[in-house]
Structure 1
């Protein structure tokens, strides 16, 4: 009796293991490199079709992903966002470490093919600390607009790269998506 239970258990485990080995052989992992950096999630090849991690690719391309659960459809939007940094009326991008600057960010957005409910501009220091420059609810339904922040006084206390980022939300319930980034070098 004991022997038959062990034999049945071994047969079941063998069948499960064989099925898992077959499933693993039917799919292949794919390394995904985007702009020179490997993504955390791998792609897969299943039945000669390649499946890629859309959310990570969209983040790398600074694009918005919209998911419609009812129709099971993912839509990718990539607006053109150009940012110019102004100190008074002078454009700038490199700063001296330890100095405090007053500046604002002018953003030109075009090729916008989805509605936007909010925008945000922030600056992140080389250590990863983010400060919001300005955040605002908007109701944008056209394909282009301009957005200028108020003046911000900011101390560039560390040497390195500071990232000024432009974010969008398509609805109030969505998460912020980075759609543009400009780097300031502090030396």
Structure 2
């Protein structure tokens, strides 16, 4: 009987000790709400021991940075990318009438690119999120900026019907050398009204 009582007391003591440790660890972690350009992000940010941790997916997606992860490090590259849309007559635009078909190209200026890339692409998404590929270029193509940290490119002409009112989003993507997926590094919106 004495052994059973000691076993119960010992089990109760360990439960209290480890339960307190788990509670203390949980209370040291606090979920935070992140705001980027006045939009709230619901997850991916925590504070632990007064240090804030942000998900690399948020850094990549919302801040349009290239994030490369391996077993023991995370490297972030943020190239400076500017995009300009122009019609065939050379006029620069950012607004189009709803329902109008526009033939245009996108001029892209990139500098401060500190990582080698193996491919790039340009897409356009309608106000409902349906995305259309405009053009893809890969390393080895004649018009690919291999090994350059500063370059200017004009993407091919596209004829596109802006059939719905709202914001259309041009997205410029890069694929870092050795990686399997593209990451968005710049966006430009075109308004259809």
Q: What is the match of residue 91 of structure 1? A: 92
**Aligned residues between the structures:** 185
Q: Which residue of 2 aligns with 1:148?
A: 154
**SS in structure 1 opposite 2:128?**
coil
Q: Determine helix, strand or coil for the equivalent of 1:185.
A: strand
Does residue 136 (structure 1) correspond to residue 142 (structure 2)? The answer is no
- How many angstroms does 1:172 deviate by? 5.4
Whole-Å separation in 2 of the counterparts to 1:161 and 1:51: 32
Q: Partners in 2 of 1:37 and 1:6 — Cα distance? A: 53
- Matches of 1:172 and 1:156, distance apart in 2: 36
Write out aligned runs for 1:25-174 (5 A).
Answer: 25-69=27-71, 72-88=72-88, 89-138=90-139, 140-171=146-177, 173-174=179-180
> TM-score if structure 1 supplies the norm length?
0.87
Instruction: State the distance in 2 between where 1:140 and 1:38 align.
Output: 37
Measured in 2, the distance between the counterparts of 1:122 and 1:43 equals 29
* Structure 2: distance between partners of 1:156 and 1:44: 40
Q: Secondary structure at the match of 2:164?
A: coil
Q: Is contact 2:167–2:192 with CA below 8 Å preserved after alignment?
A: yes
When the two chains are superposed, the root-mean-square deviation of aligned CA atoms in Å is 2.3
Whether 1:181 aligns to 2:192 is no
Deviation at 1:5, TM superposition (A): 8.5
Where does structure 1 lack aligned partners over 5 or more consecutive residues?
Answer: none
Structure 2 gap ranges (5+): 140-144
Q: Report how far residue 104 of structure 1 moved.
A: 1.0
SS of the aligned residue for 2:76 comes to strand
- What's the offset of the Cα at 1:75? 1.2
Segments of 4+ moved more than 4 angstroms: 1-16
- Deviation at 1:11? 5.7
Verify the 8 A CA contact 1:34 1:57 in the aligned structure 2.
no
Q: Distance in 2 between matches of 1:33 and 1:20?
A: 30
| Segment drifting more, 174-183 vs 36-45 | 36-45
